[in-house]
C-alpha cells in the first residue's frame, strides 16, 4: 500500500485495509440511490426490491454493506442478468434509458440536477445502506499538522 511505503501521505477509500500502523478515520457516509432515465422512471413507477430481477436492472456491486443488503433484499448478485464492473459503463446505460441501477449520491446528483436521471422509488424491507468513505494515513506521518488540517477540512 502506498501509504505504508511512504509514497503518499493520505488516501481515501471505501474499504479500509487492516494494518495497525495506519490511522483509519471515517469521513463521510454516502447514500446509494436507485436511478434511471425519466422515461423509464415514468414507465416503471415504484418498484420493489424483488422486482429488480424482472425489470431492466443494471447491477453494480458497491461492496459491503451493499452486498449484504442486496443479498437479503433481492438475492444473489449472480441472479442479476446485467452486471457491470465500471461505473462509467453503468452511467452510459442508465443515461441511454436501457435500465435502472444504484448509484452513489455524489455520482447521481449531477445527472439528476440536469434532468438526465431521476430517482426511482423502491420499496424495501431494509434500508439501503450507506457507503462510508475513510481517510487513511500512517500513524507515524512526518507531517501531522498538514494531516490535521486536511482532516479538519474533510469533516467540514
Task: Please write the tens of the pLDDT for every residue from 80-91.
Answer: 878 998 999 999
pTM above 0.85, yes or no: no
The whole-angstrom separation of Cα 113 and Cα 72 is: 31
- The structural domains of the chain, with segments of one domain joined by +, span 1-29+131-156, 32-129
Architecture of domain 32-129: 3-Layer(aba) Sandwich (3.40)
Beta strands in 31-154 (DSSP E): 32-36, 47-48, 101-104, 118-119, 122-123, 131-138
**How many alpha carbons lie under 13 Å from residue 153 in its C-beta half-sphere?**
6
Q: Average the pLDDT over 65-88 and give the result.
A: 88
pLDDT-derived band at 10 (thresholds 50, 70, 90) equals confident
- Supply 36's cell numbers: 434511471
Which pLDDT belongs to residue 19? 84
- pLDDT tens for 90-125 read 999 999 999 999 999 999 999 999 999 999 999 999
Closest of 111, 81, 109 to residue 95, by C-alpha: 111
103 neighbors 94 (Cβ within 8 angstroms): yes
Amino acid at each position: 500500500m502506498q501509504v505504508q511505503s511512504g509514497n503518499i501521505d493520505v488516501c481515501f477509500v471505501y474499504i479500509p485495509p487492516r494494518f495497525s500502523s495506519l490511522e483509519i478515520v471515517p469521513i463521510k457516509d454516502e447514500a446509494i440511490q436507485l436511478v434511471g432515465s425519466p422515461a423509464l422512471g415514468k414507465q416503471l413507477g415504484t418498484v420493489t426490491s424483488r422486482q429488480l430481477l424482472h425489470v431492466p436492472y443494471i447491477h453494480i456491486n458497491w461492496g459491503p454493506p451493499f452486498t449484504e443488503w442486496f443479498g437479503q433484499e433481492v438475492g444473489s448478485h449472480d441472479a442479476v442478468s446485467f452486471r457491470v464492473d465500471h461505473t462509467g459503463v453503468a452511467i452510459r446505460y442508465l443515461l441511454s434509458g436501457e435500465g435502472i441501477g444504484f448509484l452513489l449520491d455524489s455520482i447521481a446528483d449531477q445527472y439528476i440536477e440536469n434532468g438526465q436521471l431521476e430517482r426511482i422509488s423502491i420499496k424495501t424491507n431494509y434500508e439501503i445502506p450507506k457507503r462510508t468513505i475513510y481517510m487513511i494515513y500512517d500513524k507515524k506521518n512526518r507531517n501531522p499538522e498538514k494531516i490535521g488540517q486536511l482532516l479538519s477540512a474533510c469533516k467540514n
